[in-house]
Chains A and B, each alone.
Chain A
Amino acid sequence: MMKVFEASYQRFRERLRWRLGSDALATEVLHETWLRIARIDDVGLVQQPEAYLFRMALNVAADQREKDNRKLTASEIEAIRHTMDGALDPERIAEARAELAMLRAALEELTPRRKAILLLARLDNVKHEEIAERFGISPRMVEKELLNALRHCSNRLERKLNRRFSSGPRKGS
């Protein structure tokens, strides 16, 4: 079975690339298929090994797609959000916490709708789709409002920081 697989590898790869629309994905699927074959102790009698293997590769692709399309849970999102925290200095985090008053002022400057959308998304974790429905706008618009709100807040905080550090010693990155 392994031999058949190896012999048909290039052909499989091309067919899969055509089916899946990506060479990287095709290679990944073939790799996983190869692992699955290696795990099977006894495949029994297979009439058409090549067709059998290709069917197997398609199943792997389908599983992969299903796995990839699964929605993240709230706890997963929270964990992902903090995966890169190590990239920041602890002082930076402390400093940002000290700027809450500034951030509060920046939030007050948002248009009422933008602020409301931000708070619904942030504090109440309402899905964009639901926010969109509530305001009678498209989810795309919700996203745009959120990005504008974030940009406004971060720009406001940055301006203040730049002033404060303009003459201080610099750290390399």
Chain B
Amino acid sequence: MREDDPITPPDMRATIKQEAQQWLVLLTSGRATVADAAALKRWCERSELHAEAFAEANLLWDNIASASRRPRRAVLNRRTILAAAGASAAAAALGYFVVEPPLDLWPSASELRADLRTAIGERRRIALQSGASIDLNTRTSLNMPHEASEGSLELVSGEVAIVTSKSLDAPLTIMAAGGRIRAVDAHFNVRCEGVRATVTCERGSVAIDYSGNSVTLYEGRQIAYAQGALEPVVAADVGAVLAWREGQLVFRQTPLSEVIGEVNRYRPGHIMLMNEALGRRRVEVRLTLDRIDDLIALIQDVYGARITQLPGGVVVVS
């Protein structure tokens, strides 16, 4: 809020702010095109004020998601869901159902074609009609299968744990960071950070195609890929990898800097580590996601670090 600017009249600010919100509404309307994106870019380039107004509108949009995050509810019986959603033939054709209704008011099938997104710290479980189930971890974007993706899910970013069953007619396919992951009867975890993906197999086997190479991953194994190359398969601590599904974070002999990096994924705000030596200390810790700030108390009590709490969930560890 910079109403102190001597040059720009307040009503012009108000106009720019409103236009920025109009752009945001158009952009997220489901009908925005490449041409719209180009026009929006030109609009933002008109002045710093325009760019800032658009950033503000998006900040509000992000925070509306956080502010209206719904408490996690019990997963409904699958039969109930199928019956409730049975009304929508379109939804049935798409072959998946969102188990948790998005709203108390409209627990219906309209969001079925929508992509799913979880906010910071949110976890959500969805069930596919095929019988597979997917847990979405914090900050995850998942595109549902549609014709253009040839029935494949797409993990845009974040982390999912997938359970598929023998009864699938065809393998479940999920794309992540340019790789294709297929499974028939398996429990596995996929994590996607930018151009890098990590796949961990808990049960059964998973086939991965990436950049012209293929590999089959078996129980207890993990593989990562990025920049056109598959990395070697390694043994994984599957319990620790998948602990998030039970609302836990498990670290075994992990440098504190990595622990903090991981905790930052789940926590609004940011923990900043200003002490390098402390960051190298290896820690053994189990955190409950609902009480993630326990880590801060732990660092303070166990390592005697100095903690400074700032507004907005920013914590400085020194």
Closest B-chain residue to A68, C-beta based? B35
Closest A-chain residue to B26, C-beta based? A143
Neighbour of A153 across the interface among B48, B49, B60, CB < 8 A: B60
Neighbour of A80 across the interface among B37, B113, B116, B268, CB < 8 A: B37
A94 / chain B contacts, CB cutoff of 8 Å: 269-270, 310-314
Assembly CA distance A88 to B106 (angstroms): 36
Closest B-chain residue to A93, C-beta based? B59
Q: How big is chain A's contact interface, by range? A: 35 or more
* Residue B169 interfacial (CB < 8 Å): no
A75 near B311 with CB under 8 A, answer no
Assembly CA distance A104 to B67 (angstroms): 5
Assembly CA distance A85 to B57 (angstroms): 10
For the residues of A in contact with B, the DSSP-based class is: helix
B211 / chain A contacts, CB cutoff of 8 Å: none
Q: How big is chain B's contact interface, by range? A: 35 or more
Known contacts A80-B27, A173-B2: does B34 contact A97 (CB below 8 Å)?
Answer: no
Assembly CA distance A165 to B3 (angstroms): 10
B67 near A126 with CB under 8 A, answer no
Of the listed residues A80, A126, A127, A154, the one surrounded by the most CB atoms of chain B closer than 10 A to its CB is A80
Closest A-chain residue to B66, C-beta based? A100
Assembly CA distance A36 to B35 (angstroms): 22
Assembly CA distance A92 to B231 (angstroms): 40
* Residue A41 interfacial (CB < 8 Å): no
B110 near A130 with CB under 8 A, answer yes
A173 near B48 with CB under 8 A, answer yes
Assembly CA distance A119 to B261 (angstroms): 30
* Residue B258 interfacial (CB < 8 Å): no
A162 / chain B contacts, CB cutoff of 8 Å: 1, 3
Interface string of A37-71 (1 = CB under 8 A from B): 00000000000000000000000000000011111
Closest B-chain residue to A78, C-beta based? B141
Neighbour of A121 across the interface among B1, B28, B56, CB < 8 A: B28
Neighbour of B32 across the interface among A77, A119, A143, CB < 8 A: A77
Assembly CA distance A73 to B30 (angstroms): 9
Assembly CA distance A69 to B35 (angstroms): 6
* Residue A83 interfacial (CB < 8 Å): yes
A128 / chain B contacts, CB cutoff of 8 Å: 29-31
Which one of B15-23, B217-225, B247-255 is at the A interface? B15-23
Q: Nearest-CB distance from A16 to chain B (Å)?
A: 18
CB within 8 Å of B: which of A128-167?
Answer: 128-131, 134, 139, 143, 146-147, 150-151, 153-154, 157-158, 161-162, 165
Listed A/B pairs (21) with beta-carbon separation below 8 Å: A72-B27, A73-B143, A76-B37, A81-B24, A81-B27, A81-B28, A84-B55, A85-B58, A88-B56, A93-B59, A94-B314, A96-B59, A97-B66, A100-B66, A119-B103, A123-B117, A150-B60, A154-B57, A161-B1, A173-B2, A173-B49
15 other contacts beyond A84-B52, A100-B67, with CB at 8 A cut-off? Answer: A69-B34, A72-B37, A74-B141, A74-B156, A86-B55, A93-B59, A94-B310, A96-B60, A96-B312, A98-B312, A119-B102, A126-B110, A126-B111, A134-B108, A151-B18
